[in-house]
Amino acid sequence: MQYRQPTVYRQSTPVCRQEFVLLGPGASSLPGLFEEIGPCELTAGLNTTANPYSWANFANVLFLDQPAGVGFSTPADDGSYPVTLAEASDDFAAFLTRFVKQYPQYFQHGFYIAGESFGGRYVPRFTADLVRRQLAGAPDAFPVQVRGIVLANALVDGTYSSLGHYELFCTDSPTADLLRFNATACDAIAAAMPEAERLQRMCQATYDASLCQTAIEFGQRNLYKYFQEQVDALKHSPYDLRLGCDVPPICIPQSEYSTGDYFNKPEIQSLLGIGEYQKYVSINFDLNAKWSTRPEIMLPTTREVSYLVDIAKVRFLVLNGNYDVIINSPGIFREWADLPWHGNIQFRLDPTRDWYFRDSKGALQKGGQLKGRGQQVQVAGVDNAGHMSPGDQKESVAYLVHEWIQQS
């Protein structure tokens, strides 16, 4: 009998819009299921084939379309759906608690939660709410220990995306062969960095939505704008620097095979037990718009992350594709080096080293860069990957996640 590691929960794969803020809620998890880490992947003719690098090879994996109203999930009877993290967190906890009661056999080894992109807001908040109730001894608390969190190209604090641009485009970074700014742009970014850093610290210290918006907008106007010029000229996608912008203004790279086409086939919905046919869309833009108008969209989840690391002792594995610009690796490494927690100094002093994986032939291959090896927080840059790094580099990322789970 194949042994399976603790259950892994993967959050929705969100979308980011490039305006003055990073948005994300409203996207279905099914592209992640069929394009990244699920047991099957789409092929030509809208068929499926086995994914040899699925996380399901070493874990029981649950995908959840949320908040309610996303993908195949349904809103309330009156058509409403959650529009805040607090409301969505309550639904998340209620669903998981019922799921565990019905399928306790899948939770015997603990539980991991994973999220991508806007999952950097969902996962820390939802998990912190679960854990607080557990530590408080609430009778209806989630009955399974959360052992770790995996975040991929995750939006925890939106200010760090712009703060990574000097290193990304003005130094010998992994992206220098594709785009390097001229001296005038680099000097302007360097001159604006002190004020951007000051505003970022104010946002973190106060959790004031207006101050956080000011910090994000300053970064967009003074640091990010030089790359935005490349996007406006359709030269580069913010989600994968290797690609142009085929569908402006959002510039999300198009999948070769559409999950929307696949899940809108009546025979597929019948096999899934959907019941009455419903049109599947990968992004609920109505929900996205409602979330984006709320001040909460500006707030980071750094405090929740610090709580989970320091108080709950939850382990973190943070992945980031090195060709992602919207959530870029220099900003992510910087963000986690700034994270307030008891192991911060050890993490900062740990050198960033190359990490390796063994491919299907047993050969050792370089996967990217890793900081915090063996520590409670580990951050990995993923070579040759964009915003959906677990899908861009299925083999190396699956290897890294499996090794990380084995360390617990």
Give the length of the chain: 408
What is the pTM (predicted TM-score) of this model? 0.93
141-173: pLDDT as tens digits = 999 999 999 999 999 999 999 999 999 999 998
Q: Is the pLDDT of residue 140 over 60?
A: yes
Q: Is the pLDDT of residue 109 over 70?
A: yes
Mean of pLDDT values over 200-225: 96
High-pLDDT (> 70) share of the chain, % = 93
Q: Is the pLDDT of residue 1 over 80?
A: no
Q: How confident is the model at residue 176 (pLDDT cuts 50, 70, 90)?
A: confident
Q: How confident is the model at residue 185 (pLDDT cuts 50, 70, 90)?
A: very high
Residue 273 or 20, more confident: 273
292-343: pLDDT as tens digits = 888 899 999 999 999 999 999 999 999 999 999 999 999 999 999 999 999 9
Question: According to the model, what pLDDT value does residue 63 have?
Answer: 93
Question: According to the model, what pLDDT value does residue 22 have?
Answer: 40
The pair of structure tokens assigned to 285 is 């833009």
Q: Does domain 5-160+250-406 have CATH number 3.30.365.10?
A: no
Question: According to the model, what pLDDT value does residue 74 have?
Answer: 85
Q: What value does the mean pLDDT of the chain take?
A: 90
357-386: pLDDT as tens digits = 999 999 999 999 999 988 999 999 999 999
What Rg value do the Cα atoms of the chain yield, rounded?
20
Q: How confident is the model at residue 254 (pLDDT cuts 50, 70, 90)?
A: confident
Q: Is the pLDDT of residue 236 over 70?
A: yes
Q: State yes or no: cis peptide before 67, omega within 30 of 0.
A: yes
How far does Cα 200 stand from its chain's mean position? Answer: 21
Q: How confident is the model at residue 108 (pLDDT cuts 50, 70, 90)?
A: confident
33-86: pLDDT as tens digits = 999 999 999 988 788 999 999 999 999 999 999 899 899 988 878 878 898 999
| Contact call for residues 282 and 27 (beta carbons, < 8 A) | yes
Q: Is the pLDDT of residue 8 over 90?
A: no
Q: Is the pLDDT of residue 15 over 70?
A: no
| Contact call for residues 258 and 250 (beta carbons, < 8 A) | no
High-pLDDT (> 90) share of the chain, % = 73
Domain ranges of the chain: 5-160+250-406, 163-232
Question: According to the model, what pLDDT value does residue 19 have?
Answer: 36
The pair of structure tokens assigned to 156 is 């925890």
Q: Is the pLDDT of residue 233 over 50?
A: yes
Q: Tell which CATH classification among 1.10.287, 1.10.10, 3.30.2010, 3.40.50 matches the domain 163-232.
A: 1.10.287
| Contact call for residues 365 and 384 (beta carbons, < 8 A) | no
| Contact call for residues 203 and 218 (beta carbons, < 8 A) | no
Q: How far is CA 203 from CA 161, 212, 386, in A?
A: 14, 5, 27
Mean of pLDDT values over 193-217: 96
Question: According to the model, what pLDDT value does residue 58 have?
Answer: 94
Question: According to the model, what pLDDT value does residue 81 have?
Answer: 86
Q: Is the pLDDT of residue 9 over 80?
A: no
Q: Is the pLDDT of residue 119 over 60?
A: yes
Question: According to the model, what pLDDT value does residue 79 have?
Answer: 79
DSSP, collapsed to helix, strand or coil, labels residue 368 as strand
Task: List the one residue out of 113, 92, 61, 32 whose CA is nearest residue 282.
Answer: 32
